[in-house]
Structures are given as structure tokens and as C-alpha cells.
Amino acid sequence: MILTYEQMGAPKYVIGICSCTVNGGMYWQSYATAKRLDEYLPVDLYIAGCMPRPEAVIAGMRQLMERIRTGDADGWRDYYRRYDWYLGNQQHLFGEDWQTPTDVIAEARHYDLLGDQTLGEHTELLQQYQKPLEALEMRLKPDSE
């Protein structure tokens, strides 16, 4: 999910559906469950329930649409401003060599959202392990081959 989120263009929104995204739900004691989605990604809206009723999903979508219209759904900005905190939680979950193909720090600069919490100890660790993406070289075979 994090990989998909980081590769989406901004603005982007996250909806946590079901109890599992809030606190791990009925799997909260499992070692294989990430307990709270908002520790890894900014969540703009939670829709509670296991499974939520269709009316709750519709009401939640309307609520998010209103928050987008008024400019209150801005979790994506928070992700850039506090990237070091989110990255630290991701590294705790996946290992210190965790990385994605997206340069989030460059995006934070692009959107003018580089804040005092964008960089820190976790982004320094990321830079130690990060391997820059290299362009693939494509060549046409000569007709003689």
C-alpha cells in the first residue's frame, strides 16, 4: 500500500475501511498485523465496522468529498512535512533498509512542503541504503546481426 501511495500523484487520499485499519481489529494480537494504518500513511477518513454497512461507506465517501471541497483533506501534505516520522515507522515494520522507488524528499521540495520534520535520522538511514534508479539502456540491433 505504501508503494502505491508514494507513486500516486498529489493530491492523494487514504480511506481506512474496517476495524483492522484502526487498531488491528480481531487480529490485533497477531505478530503479522500492522495495528494502525495512520502510523504508516496519513489517513483522511476512517469507515468503521467489520464489515461496514453500505450506508456507512456512502456516508464516509460524502464526508471525504466535502473535506476535499473545503480543503480539509490534506493528509498528503502532512506526509511530506513529517516524512521522517512516517518513514521511521515504516522502517520499524519492514527493516532499516526499507525503501521505495519514489523520491519523497524531492516531491516535498517540489510541492514546497519540505518542513523541519521532513528530514531526520530515518531519512539519513534511508540515504545509506537507497539505490538510485537507473535508466534502462535500449538499443536497436543493426540489420547485419
Give dist(CA 86, CA 42) in Å, integer: 9
Domain count, the chain: 2
Does residue 69 sit in the same domain as residue 107?
A: no
Does residue 23 sit in the same domain as residue 64?
A: yes
Task: Note down the domain range covering 56.
Answer: 14-73
* The pLDDT of residue 144 is above 70: no
Give 6-61 pLDDT, tens digit per residue: 999 899 999 998 877 777 677 777 777 777 889 999 999 999 888 889 999 999 99
The answer to whether residue 110 is domain-embedded is yes
Report pLDDT for 77: 96
The answer to whether residue 33 is domain-embedded is yes
Among the ranges 39-53, 57-71, 117-131, which has the highest mean pLDDT value?
57-71
pTM, 2 dp: 0.82
**Domain end residue (candidates: 51, 73, 95):** 73
Q: Which amino acid is at 117?
A: Q
CATH number of 69's domain: 3.40.50.12280
**Domain end residue (candidates: 73, 105, 140):** 73
Sign of CA dihedral 122, 124, 128, 130: positive
Report pLDDT for 82: 96
Is 118 in contact with 105 (CB distance < 8 Å)? yes
Residue 86: partners with Cβ closer than 8 Å, 6 or more residues away: 39, 40, 41, 42, 79
The answer to whether residue 140 is domain-embedded is no
* The pLDDT of residue 132 is above 80: no
Segment 68-81 shows an average pLDDT of 95
* The pLDDT of residue 73 is above 70: yes
What average pLDDT does the chain have?
88
Does residue 20 sit in the same domain as residue 64?
A: yes
| Collapsed DSSP state (helix, strand, coil) of residue 46 | strand
